[in-house]
Amino acid sequence: MKTIKIKSTTAIKMIKDLQEHIGGTINKLDNEYILNVDNDLATGTICGITVQKSISYLAFNITFKDHVTLVNTFLKSAPIYFTYCSEGNVQHSFKVNGTLNTLEAFQTAILRSEQAATNVYHFQQDEQLKFSTIVVNTDSLSLKNELNSKLNDTFTSNSGNENYVYLGSYNLKIAEKIDQLEQIRQEGVVRRLLIESCVQAILALEIQQHKDDLEHASNQFGSLSLQDMETIKEVSLFIKNYPEKQYTLKYLSTKSALSPSKLQEGFKLMHDRTVTDYIRNVRVEKAEELIKTTDLNISEIVYTVGLTSRSYFSKIFKEKYNCSPKQYQDSQNTLAATA
């Protein structure tokens, strides 16, 4: 078993500490630090991002080739960890040999020690892991930030001298937002703003999940199992990759081996939409992309995204973008001509 000890909650220091223990090379891109590892201990990447001076984002997409215990010791304060597991599972404790809490795929957690102590993550051997945590510092300087101060007040145990542990419901919206963050290809200040926006959205979704769970404590997970959640994610990706297919609820139910009611429940949970609404939204967003990036005319685009009625397409496009497809295409052509 490999034990890794780090004593910081800032992105660059955490990445450098991790490199010292597991090797690899660090690539820096503005406020991002990406540790690439391919050796006898691990294969994959660990990304650290400075969102604000007092808030950092750490994301693992890695397979450890030994059991690994990551011990984060903080001496001056007790940071709040907003944690999410996209793939695999992670165990957490506040001491190396302390009580273990298991975080499954698609599950959220908010973790905080009320005293200057340790925050410990336990990673399994030979398991593909996709796991992220937003670290919010609570030292005296950080608490001058209004957001840090409010989170500090909210996520403190009632007794004031106990650890704060919240293991939340499955949440596919967070996985979707993390995927969006990883797909950002812009550079410079645009990239930085988009990344910060995504991390803040992830934080907001974690806090909202906590609120929702408190309100619906008797039915945290509904009727969906972890396997059901994974299937919903796969079906969503399939629709996104092939918007032109003629989908029916019966077809998707047969393909996924999920009942229509479970499909609807899963799509409402992940996308806050019905299955039909999700398909329609995917097609409109794909059409918008095609208008910007191809020379196809509107009728060709309608056919390409799996619709048959141009008038219906114009209606749903205008509902989403507040202009007709033709107006949008004309504006793109005008911009191209004057560029």
What confidence tens digit (pLDDT) does each residue in 198-221 have?
999 999 999 998 988 887 764 445
How many H-runs (helices) and E-runs (strands) does the chain carry?
Answer: 11, 13
Q: Is the pLDDT of residue 62 over 70?
A: yes
- Residue 65 is given by DSSP the state S
Residue 38 has pLDDT above 50, yes or no: yes
Q: Which two tokens stand for residue 315?
A: 């209606």
% of the chain surpassing 90 pLDDT? 57
pLDDT in tens, 152-194: 888 886 655 678 889 988 888 898 899 999 999 888 899 999 9
Per DSSP, the residues of 66-101 read S-EEEEEE-SS---EEEEEEEES-EEEESSTTS--E
**pLDDT(336) > 60:** no
All residues at 6 or more sequence positions from 334 whose CB lies less than 8 Å from its CB, including other chains: none
Closest CA to 199 of 47, 49, 45, 31: 49
Distance, in Å, from the CA atom of 98 to the CA atom of 107, rounded to the nearest integer, reads 21
pTM, two decimal places = 0.78
pLDDT at 121 over 80: yes
- Check: CB of residue 321 under 8 Å from CB of residue 288: yes
Q: Which pLDDT score, from 0 to 100, does residue 218 have? A: 47
In order of start, what are the domains of the chain with their CATH numbers? 2-219 (2.60.120.10), 226-338 (1.10.10.60)
Confidence tier at 331 by pLDDT (50, 70, 90): confident
The residue assigned the tokens 């703003």 is: 193
1 burial via Cβ count (<10 Å: 0-12, 13-18, 19+): exposed
pLDDT value at residue 171: 85
247-280 residue pLDDT tens: 999 999 999 999 999 999 889 887 888 999 999 9
